[in-house]
Amino acid sequence: MSGVASFVPTPLLLSDSAKARLRSLVEEEGNRGLKLRVYVTGGGCSGFQYGFDFAESVAEDDTLVEFDDVALVVDPLSYQYLVGSTVDFEEGLAGARFMIQNPNATTTCGCGASFMV
């Protein structure tokens, strides 16, 4: 070993396409205080499913992850399932959507909206 290594954990990442889409949505709403709330609920075909919503306020126990002029908000229950994940945005023939690339998921469904750990 060469010595002590420094590690800064990254709770959540936001892809460039997700930043651009979120920035666009915030501008459309005319409210710079809007943040993207990312959460996990029980259900879906793999056990848990992802959800997205806008949030104007942040609860005391929420985690706020800021990226320049946009931000993500995650509640404490969802946070444990999302640590290290990347929020992305894709547009295609099936439509446009935010999606999660989650390294903690052991299984995901075909649509990518639900997962199992």
Question: Which two tokens mark 10?
Answer: 């990254």
Does the annotation place 111 within a ligand binding site? yes
> pLDDT digit string (tens) for 33-47?
999 999 998 876 667
Residues contacting 31, CB < 8 A, separation 6+: 56
The model's confidence at residue 66, banded by pLDDT at 50, 70 and 90, is: very high
| Residue 111 pLDDT greater than 60, yes or no | no
Mean pLDDT of 12-32: 94
CA distances from 59 to 34, 63, 67, 76 (A): 14, 8, 19, 10
* Predicted local confidence at residue 42, as pLDDT: 83
Distance CA 76, CA 62 (A): 6
Does the annotation place 110 within a ligand binding site? no
Does the annotation place 45 within a ligand binding site? yes
Residues contacting 21, CB < 8 A, separation 6+: 89, 96, 98
| Helix, strand, coil % over all residues of the chain, rounded to 5 | 20, 40, 40
What CATH number belongs to 12-101? 2.60.300.12
